[in-house]
Amino acid sequence: MSWGESRTITLTVNGTSYTREVEVRFHLADVLRHELGLTGTHLGCEHGVCGACTVLINGRSARSCLMLAVQADGAEITTIEGIADIDGPHAGGLHPLQEAFREFHGLQCGFCTPGMLTTLIELLRDNPAPTEEEVRIAISGNLCRCTGYQGIVDAALATAKNLREATAPA
């Protein structure tokens, strides 16, 4: 049931198309989380600073708390729930970046993790050989209160290295 002005939108999220009537004031994270049940995208501030809500919209990272759902009409969206399938299938069912987060202890409570993963997926696509400084700058808009970032940075650097080695001509 809709309580205010609403509009019908279509989103493709993690490869599945959804058509929903949504209130125009709902931000994208509201719709992902509460209308589509994709609660892996987290809200830490709802004012665009913490980065926990970051998703990929048509391949680019964006804060789903700062975008109205109606603005995303027609977009292709990838959330944390869809990351394992990127460039997959992968052995073990997780994207190499997810595996590296586990190996290098890149998450503790896991609340910032959806935004960290989506942001770093974008970085590794744009820059397959980032320096530590570049990784830190890439996630400088994502706050983590638990890890001190070191495990996250190490996971990203190791993933970049592994992906480079996997795709290097023999």
User: Where does this chain bind ligand FES (CB under 6 A)?
Assistant: 43-46, 48-53, 63, 65, 107-112, 144-147
Given ligand FES, another protein, none, residue 153, with its beta carbon under 5 to 8 Å by kind, binds another protein
DSSP letters for the chain: ---S-EEEEEEEETTEEEEEEEETT-BHHHIIIIIS--TTS--S-SSSSS-TTEEEETTEEEETTSSBGGGGTT-EEE-GGGGGGTT---GGGS-HHHHHHHHTT--SS-SSHHHHHHHHHHHHHH-SS--HHHHHHHTTTS--SSSTTHHHHHHHHHHHHHHHHHHS--
* Least separation in angstroms between CB 165 and ligand FES: 28
Q: Which stretch binds another protein (CB under 8 A): 5-13, 66-74, 104-112, 123-131?
A: 104-112
Given another protein, ligand FES, none, residue 25, with its beta carbon under 5 to 8 Å by kind, binds another protein
Among 101, 124, 130, 160, binds another protein (CB under 8 A): 101
* CA distance to 14, 30, 89, 162, per residue, from 96 (Å): 18, 29, 11, 8
Q: Is 40 in the site for another protein (CB under 8 A)?
A: yes
Q: Which sign, positive or negative, has the C-alpha torsion 117, 119, 122, 126?
A: negative
Give the binding-site size for another protein (rule: CB under 8 A). 60
Q: Which stretch binds another protein (CB under 8 A): 66-74, 105-113, 122-130, 157-165?
A: 105-113
Q: Is 150 in the site for another protein (CB under 8 A)?
A: yes
Q: Is 58 in the site for another protein (CB under 8 A)?
A: no
Given ligand FES, another protein, none, residue 117, with its beta carbon under 5 to 8 Å by kind, binds another protein
Among 36, 38, 68, 124, binds another protein (CB under 8 A): 38
